[in-house]
Amino acid sequence: MVAVRYLISHPDALAELGDLDVALYDGSQPVPDNLDEVEFYAVPYGVIDPRFCEPIARMPRLKVVQTVTAGYDHVLPYLRPGLTLANGRGVHDAATAELAVALTLAARRRLPDFVRAGSEGRWTSGWSAGLADARVLIVGYGSIGAAIERRLAGFEVEISRVARSSRPGVRPISEVSEMLPQADVVILATPLTPETEGLVNKDFLATMADGALLVNVSRGRVVDTEALLAELNAGRLHAALDVTEPEPLPADHPLWSAPNVLISPHVGGLTAALAPRARRLLVDQVRRYAAGEPLANVVIGPQLSTAGQPTTS
């Protein structure tokens, strides 16, 4: 039986890495029988499924877990001390930023209202808020947040930025309550962490301006669903959500019928832009590891100085 050192989830990347001991596992086939020599495991992309993380426990020589997703909260319960976790930062920037802007435009221009009227054969005209001159607050200014700003550049909006820590042009999350009353649109692009879970709670929402739009392309658990429902049902806020809590959203969940809400089913990264970016990331990361070079996108150490030899970063 051939020993496998690199178990990856992208067939095109597999072809480029044919000179290495690499095998494919994309979640659509059984897990390979022999995992004893696997050192680098790329978790299959798709619906978050614990079956994709469970093989980690069967890899005694594992050093690196790589996700193709930017979020990695679903992997954390399966990690053991000493493993390096790298995420898919950059892979989903283009697609997720597109959807964030699309949701914002659709909600601000009342497209759902017009689509519903059209399906009933009704010509329903009317004014909308539009996007030009809006004040947009991006909460979570990482690579996706920056990609959202680039795509908003031509819409004549005023952009403010918040991140975990401050830097030039970006204020710390601790100051977000001061910025919310001035924002017409609040776009959530923050990762799910213990600090951001439930960040958008009753107080956060109450601080938002009347008529403001909340756009969530991060994780559903960043938002307190019950608190958001209260604001939507009161008619005070609008929301456009690609992620929800719970998820998938049950057919009888009150969010579906709440006023002023647009919901897409967690499709932020699902465009043709995903495959080539995922391939480039996986090929680059495996090559780095094989050459003993530092990995990109490390979110949990130790880092690697030589293949299979962990050192602290």
Would you say 66 and 43 are in contact if contact means Cβ atoms under 8 Å apart?
A: yes
Outline where DSSP puts E strands in the chain: 6-8, 22-24, 40-42, 64-66, 84-86, 135-139, 158-163, 171-172, 185-188, 213-216, 238-241, 261-263, 298-300, 303-306, 309-311
Given the residues 10, 92, 238, 266, the one annotated as active site: 266
Amino acid at 154: G
CA distance 6 to 2: 12
238 is a catalytic site residue: no
- Strand-pairing partners, residue 309, are 306
Would you say 131 and 108 are in contact if contact means Cβ atoms under 8 Å apart?
A: yes
Two structure tokens written together for 238: 């609008």
CA distance 7 to 33: 12
What is the per-residue DSSP string for 92-155? SHHHHHHHHHHHHHHHHTTHHHHHHHHHTT---------STT-EEEEES-SHHHHHHHHHHGGG
- Strand-pairing partners, residue 115, are none
Catalytic positions are 266
